[in-house]
Chains A and B, each alone.
Chain A
């Protein structure tokens, strides 16, 4: 970075503390960074590391119990730590804007979109009628189709991606010199995320606004930012140009983070994921030495007692580590496997299906309309196999899980067969053994574990009901299960609220395994977790599968995770299976046009440039699906394929295009292959 220019934002030795129960707990330690005009600076780290606090501090917008205890925040050469409230308000009004994580709550639900945006212009001195005009222009700028209609809508009538565009339009309305984006795409689907990120990139090019971009997603950071800072426990541990950091990570934490992501090509059959041992420190823990020492495999006595300073690695690439030269070659951190792998004993492609579902459909009634959320879904699942279910929100992934488990009953004609035996449609008509044979790990362990019961009770009750054990025996078995999930014995009697996210999910997994299941449905089991915890949970699931030959149905929107853990994959769109095949086939192509678009929208961490295949428009409502192929209005391969009329009039069947690879597309696979090369 050239130093001749005054940076837009500079944090110098910033220290922030939160007062919790009367004690000041330090959350940011000696954070120094600077963002040049027009630059995008990414702040990355796991939950609780202080990313959002840094963002709020930069805007002088800390919660009431937060305070700046040291250092300075310099905005365009002026220290804003001690300026008055009115000056801060003026700054936020005209110079700094923020885009929040959840667009649904960032917009006022009672004010029409147009008026909300116009308010920002009015604040900056525009007249009422001008403000409305400017608002409409700003919607055009964020590429909203039909801005006039959107202006008259309310927040709840917009999709997530649209709402986030509106929030961005509002943030840009004041022509800010600094835009703070706090996880702006975290709640969005991959294809929508890609579009929003494209938009932000374009706007940045046009306006030259400096951006402070906060994300836990390394792929997004890599694709969006010029420079990156890695935060751990409130301290900046590494900083430098994005390409440099990803190419040559020099702090053990950064190295660990990059290693534990299930990235391109890794598969459970050959690779075990790295984890970062231990847990992040509690809020406000005091340190003598390095903040990361307790979890670092390179740490020695010096790291425990002496605070490392930033060491220059290469130009402006700095790392706060005594052993930065050894970081990239540090030993891999893989958990011990406690039992012999049986992977080679069994064959994945067993002809006898353990589970087979055929012609499963589900119609929900919504405001008097019949909505077909699942449309004629059929597939088989083998012994010890993992089937990945992939699709954007609303594609019906979770509904399929509920249909299988009997929590929701399918329409007439849908059959679920387990091990050759037809299952009753509803849960209360199934045998105990059938119920125990198919269990689920829910997405959100906070909701899935009863917060009023102890961990042991949650598990032992399931053992008692599903295995018919006596109360005492089931408690013993519960302890065994929990220990098997590596939940420490000292935690067996606590309530879920006292556990970390990863431990809660381990308890939820233990509960799913309480009835000795043949099939476990994993519904986004790691999407609420940090990447290092995610890696440990995925390893655990793979171990359990190898040990008991359990089959998994793995639902996730994270394609890297699905690719790592799945043997076969079903891609869903609007309640239909559009592509089905082995993990290899689905990820290496030839692709179904939808899968192609989905895959191309994922920001990857290896930095390879892929051409993005955009999906235009929005996901149509399942209550009024398009005629012909349901993908046709958005299909990236329809135009020019020569099959346009067919696509628009007739729904394609799921046909086998290659051995073991099925697609629902009119365009012959040979043509697709050609287009995709």
Chain B
């Protein structure tokens, strides 16, 4: 619609929702933490104190100090700078992977929930089978088959793994929507199935999809970190948080805790913040 007043009405609805969200403490805390990390991943260049790969052989494994806020690792790299730089990697990968899973899952869920019958039956059984395989096993298999780990593979694996969950959630919402009379009304003006799915039903299941997306995003952060930790995620030596933890955790026993603790806190804080946000969204949209 070209109506300007229509977009005004949309703004009003959105403003009301935001007002409710602003009062939700969980949402405010979650959004602040996530906002901080998003800020870091955009402006990391201005926030780092040293090049993330620069090695200071003078101070290897030095504890947190005024020069190195989070200390240095075993090759003398600044932990603070590496944590800040790592934010962008994990955020972008998690977001892209979740978006991929949400797109494929939502499309399949829409079609299955609308067509019902045999197509729905077969598709849902296949998706159930996929979700029965643990993420780690799929990742290990994929890396073993291809022979190396890479960012693209990580994204594809996580997207693939998330597809069944998103599809199931969207399908359930579509099942309810497709019984409503506005769908019959659309059929009674000779709309094509694609129009009914994406222009009529999809906007009505969008809140469900958004919430599901945030929930998945929280899991994606963990998944990326886990895969990197196991060495089947990103390229070795990349400054992402999972790899940092993997490279340094054995030093904890020699009392060098700082190169492990700070990226670990970073992972936890992002995951928690996204969970807080998705909880708040669930509450506000009453899903």
Name B181's contact: one of A428, A444, A465, A494 (CB within 8 Å): A444
Contact residue range for chain A? Answer: 20 to 34
The docked-state distance in angstroms from the alpha carbon of A461 to that of B196 is 12
Judge whether B189 and A435 touch: CB under 8 Å: yes
Judge whether B181 and A454 touch: CB under 8 Å: no
Which residues on B sit within 8 Å (CB–CB) of A435? 188-190
Contact with A along B162-202 (1 / 0, CB 8 A): 00000000000000000011101111111100000000100
Query: Interface size of B by Cβ–Cβ distance < 8 Å?
Result: 21
A258 within 8 A of B: no
A624 within 8 A of B: no
A439 within 8 A of B: yes
The docked-state distance in angstroms from the alpha carbon of A461 to that of B5 is 18
Judge whether B184 and A449 touch: CB under 8 Å: no
A457 within 8 A of B: yes
Judge whether A515 and B189 touch: CB under 8 Å: yes
Contact with B along A410-453 (1 / 0, CB 8 A): 00000000000000000110001001100110101001111111
Name B188's contact: one of A439, A449, A457 (CB within 8 Å): A439
Judge whether A448 and B190 touch: CB under 8 Å: no
Judge whether B182 and A432 touch: CB under 8 Å: no
B75 within 8 A of A: no
B9 within 8 A of A: yes
Which residues on A sit within 8 Å (CB–CB) of B184? 407, 440, 442
Judge whether B9 and A448 touch: CB under 8 Å: no
Which of A427, A440, A450, A465 has the most chain B CB atoms inside 10 A of its CB? Answer: A450
Q: Give the shortest distance, in Å, between B3 (CB) and chain A (any CB).
A: 4
Is chain B's interface secondary structure helix, strand, loop, or mixed overall? helix
Contact with B along A378-408 (1 / 0, CB 8 A): 0000000000000000000000000001010
Q: Give the shortest distance, in Å, between A205 (CB) and chain B (any CB).
A: 44
Judge whether B1 and A457 touch: CB under 8 Å: yes
The docked-state distance in angstroms from the alpha carbon of A435 to that of B189 is 7
Closest A residue to B3 using CB positions: A493
Q: Give the shortest distance, in Å, between A553 (CB) and chain B (any CB).
A: 14
Judge whether A448 and B188 touch: CB under 8 Å: no
The docked-state distance in angstroms from the alpha carbon of A421 to that of B155 is 57
The docked-state distance in angstroms from the alpha carbon of A407 to that of B181 is 11
Q: Give the shortest distance, in Å, between B197 (CB) and chain A (any CB).
A: 13
The docked-state distance in angstroms from the alpha carbon of A457 to that of B200 is 11
Judge whether A448 and B189 touch: CB under 8 Å: no
Q: Give the shortest distance, in Å, between A462 (CB) and chain B (any CB).
A: 5
The docked-state distance in angstroms from the alpha carbon of A428 to that of B184 is 12
A448-B1 in contact given A493-B9, A495-B9 (Cβ < 8 Å) = no
Closest B residue to A432 using CB positions: B190
Judge whether A466 and B204 touch: CB under 8 Å: no
B255 within 8 A of A: no
Judge whether B189 and A452 touch: CB under 8 Å: no
A645 within 8 A of B: no
A498 within 8 A of B: yes
Which residues on B sit within 8 Å (CB–CB) of A444? 181
Judge whether A450 and B200 touch: CB under 8 Å: yes
The docked-state distance in angstroms from the alpha carbon of A436 to that of B191 is 12
The docked-state distance in angstroms from the alpha carbon of A457 to that of B3 is 10
A251 within 8 A of B: no
Q: Give the shortest distance, in Å, between A545 (CB) and chain B (any CB).
A: 20
Q: Give the shortest distance, in Å, between B161 (CB) and chain A (any CB).
A: 30
B6 within 8 A of A: yes
A494-B9 in contact given A450-B182, A454-B3 (Cβ < 8 Å) = yes
Which of A452, A494, A515 has the most chain B CB atoms inside 10 A of its CB? Answer: A452
Judge whether B200 and A454 touch: CB under 8 Å: no
A477-536 interface (Cβ within 8 A of B): 493-495, 498, 511, 514-515
Which residues on A sit within 8 Å (CB–CB) of B181? 442, 444, 447-448
Name A498's contact: one of B9, B185, B191, B204 (CB within 8 Å): B9
B237 within 8 A of A: no
Which residues on B sit within 8 Å (CB–CB) of A493? 1, 3, 5-6, 9
Name A452's contact: one of B185, B187, B203 (CB within 8 Å): B203
Judge whether A456 and B189 touch: CB under 8 Å: no
Closest B residue to A452 using CB positions: B203
Q: Give the shortest distance, in Å, between A148 (CB) and chain B (any CB).
A: 37
Q: Give the shortest distance, in Å, between A487 (CB) and chain B (any CB).
A: 14
A448-B182 in contact given A461-B189, A466-B189 (Cβ < 8 Å) = yes
Judge whether B189 and A451 touch: CB under 8 Å: no
Judge whether B188 and A440 touch: CB under 8 Å: yes
A454-B6 in contact given A448-B181, A448-B182 (Cβ < 8 Å) = yes
A454-B204 in contact given A444-B181, A448-B182, A465-B189 (Cβ < 8 Å) = no
Name B185's contact: one of A428, A442, A494, A495 (CB within 8 Å): A442
Which of A405, A428, A454, A515 has the most chain B CB atoms inside 10 A of its CB? Answer: A454
Q: Give the shortest distance, in Å, between B181 (CB) and chain A (any CB).
A: 4
The docked-state distance in angstroms from the alpha carbon of A85 to that of B9 is 44
Which residues on A sit within 8 Å (CB–CB) of B185? 440, 442, 448-450, 462, 511
Name A427's contact: one of B9, B13, B187, B203 (CB within 8 Å): B187
Which residues on A sit within 8 Å (CB–CB) of B186? 450
Judge whether B203 and A456 touch: CB under 8 Å: no
Which residues on A sit within 8 Å (CB–CB) of B13? 495
Which residues on A sit within 8 Å (CB–CB) of B9? 454, 493-495, 498
Judge whether A456 and B180 touch: CB under 8 Å: no
Which residues on A sit within 8 Å (CB–CB) of B182? 447-450
Which residues on A sit within 8 Å (CB–CB) of B3? 454, 456, 493
B123-180 interface (Cβ within 8 A of A): 180
Q: Give the shortest distance, in Å, between A369 (CB) and chain B (any CB).
A: 19
Which of B5, B13, B190, B191 has the most chain A CB atoms inside 10 A of its CB? Answer: B190
Q: Give the shortest distance, in Å, between B251 (CB) and chain A (any CB).
A: 55
Which residues on B sit within 8 Å (CB–CB) of A454? 1, 3, 6, 9
Which residues on A sit within 8 Å (CB–CB) of B190? 427-428, 432, 435, 465-466
Which residues on A sit within 8 Å (CB–CB) of B200? 450
Judge whether A465 and B191 touch: CB under 8 Å: yes
The docked-state distance in angstroms from the alpha carbon of A494 to that of B11 is 12
Which residues on A sit within 8 Å (CB–CB) of B188? 405, 407, 427, 435, 439-440
Q: Give the shortest distance, in Å, between B284 (CB) and chain A (any CB).
A: 14
The docked-state distance in angstroms from the alpha carbon of A667 to that of B187 is 45
A450-B204 in contact given A442-B181, A462-B189, A466-B190 (Cβ < 8 Å) = yes
Which residues on A sit within 8 Å (CB–CB) of B189? 435-436, 461-462, 465-466, 514-515
Judge whether A407 and B180 touch: CB under 8 Å: no
Contact with A along B53-84 (1 / 0, CB 8 A): 00000000000000000000000000000000
Which residues on A sit within 8 Å (CB–CB) of B191? 465
Q: Give the shortest distance, in Å, between A628 (CB) and chain B (any CB).
A: 36
Q: Give the shortest distance, in Å, between B191 (CB) and chain A (any CB).
A: 7
Q: Give the shortest distance, in Å, between A494 (CB) and chain B (any CB).
A: 6
B1-15 interface (Cβ within 8 A of A): 1, 3, 5-6, 9, 13
Which residues on B sit within 8 Å (CB–CB) of A514? 189
Closest B residue to A430 using CB positions: B190
The docked-state distance in angstroms from the alpha carbon of A448 to that of B182 is 4
Which residues on B sit within 8 Å (CB–CB) of A407? 184, 187-188
The docked-state distance in angstroms from the alpha carbon of A612 to that of B29 is 66
Q: Give the shortest distance, in Å, between A85 (CB) and chain B (any CB).
A: 27
Which residues on A sit within 8 Å (CB–CB) of B203? 450, 452-453
Q: Give the shortest distance, in Å, between A515 (CB) and chain B (any CB).
A: 7
The docked-state distance in angstroms from the alpha carbon of A154 to that of B86 is 58
Query: 14 new A-B pairs (CB below 8 Å) besides A407-B187, A432-B190, A440-B188?
Result: A428-B187, A442-B181, A448-B181, A450-B204, A452-B203, A452-B206, A453-B1, A453-B203, A465-B190, A465-B191, A466-B189, A493-B1, A493-B3, A494-B9
The 3 closest A-B pairs by CB, nearest first: A452-B203, A493-B5, A448-B181
19 contacting pairs across A/B (C-beta < 8 A): A405-B188, A407-B184, A427-B187, A427-B190, A428-B187, A436-B189, A440-B184, A447-B180, A448-B181, A448-B185, A449-B185, A450-B203, A452-B203, A453-B1, A453-B203, A457-B6, A462-B189, A493-B1, A493-B3
Give B contacts to A, CB under 8 Å: 1, 3, 5-6, 9, 13, 180-182, 184-191, 200, 203-204, 206
